[in-house]
Amino acid sequence: MQNPYQLTQLAYDAGFRQTRNELITAVAAAIGESGGNERARGDNGESYGLWQIHVPSHPEYRSNPEQLFDPRVNATAAYKVYTGRGRSFEPFHAWSRASGPKKAFLTSAALVGVSAWEVAHPGAALGTVVRPATDKAKEEVTEAVKGGIPGLEGASDALERVRAWLTTPANLARLAAGVLGAAIIVAGAVVLILPTVKETIREVRPV
């Protein structure tokens, strides 16, 4: 299993580094496609590995499709698919056809990995920009890079569990209802508190 930090390294090495967003999206696509499981097989056994390369669409892998279980081979294949489609992530359907909470989860999970990776590689170039790591970012993720934060260590298993949960329609409906309920509560609180805040401001405003 590959966690988001490891997926970031694989994606960067394969060529997903023209922009930061490209790198984040490549990692999100891998999480969506396989949950970080390099030995994943889908599409009735025809798609292999981290980015779920569809072997019938890529004859160069038909003689030995299991080579796509190698994370680096799979990342390189994914980059070829991406550039072959005009630098489009559309072929990675677990990402391109995701929406709402699922897409937000994939993006957030990828961002954790990319942010941690950037701290560990402060001179790495993304496109023409060299991104120095800020002190604040270092404080937030240096421990994650070292494996000291429970959220990153063992992240692959957690990602797979959450991904499975999110792919259940009933769970997506529950999550959407929860988000809507929270928004209603916040809006109600604002309506109740706003008059008091305005009155307080009037009382303390200098004359």
Write out pLDDT tens, residues 119-144.
998 878 777 555 544 554 455 455 54
Residue 161 pLDDT: 59
**Which residues in the chain come in under a pLDDT of 50?**
132-133, 136-137, 140, 144-153, 189-191, 197-198, 200-207
Answer whether 0.95 is exceeded by the pTM.
no
Q: Is residue 135 part of a domain?
A: yes
Residue 2 DSSP SS3: coil
> Looking at the domain assignment, is residue 120 inside a domain?
yes
**3-class DSSP state of 12:** helix
Question: How many Å apart are CA 35 and CA 50, to the nearest integer?
Answer: 8
Q: In the prediction, which pLDDT does 139 show?
A: 55
Asked if the structure places residue 113 within a domain, the reply is yes
pLDDT at residue 104, as a whole number: 93
Question: What is the DSSP code string of 170-184?
Answer: HHHHHHHHHHHHHHH
Domain that holds residue 148: 4-166
The position carrying tokens 């569990």 is 161
The pLDDT score that the predictor gives to residue 122 is: 84
Listing DSSP states for 104-118 in one string gives HHHHHHHHHHHHHHH
Do the domain assignments include residue 72? yes
Is position 176 within any domain?
no
Give the sign of the dihedral formed by CA 192, CA 197, CA 200, CA 205: negative
Instruction: Please check whether residue 80 lies inside any domain of the structure.
Output: yes
* Residue 179 domain-assigned (yes or no): no
Q: Encode pLDDT of 60-82 as tens digits.
A: 999 999 999 999 999 999 999 99
Q: Which residues contact 145 (CB under 8 A, 6 or more apart)?
A: 5, 116, 117, 119, 120
Q: Is residue 45 part of a domain?
A: yes
Using a pLDDT cut of 70, give the percent of the chain over it: 61
- The pair of three-digit structure tokens given for residue 82, joined into one six-digit string: 């991406």
Q: How many domains does the chain have?
A: 1
Contact 39/2 with Cβ under 8 angstroms?
no
Residue 71 confidence (pLDDT): 97
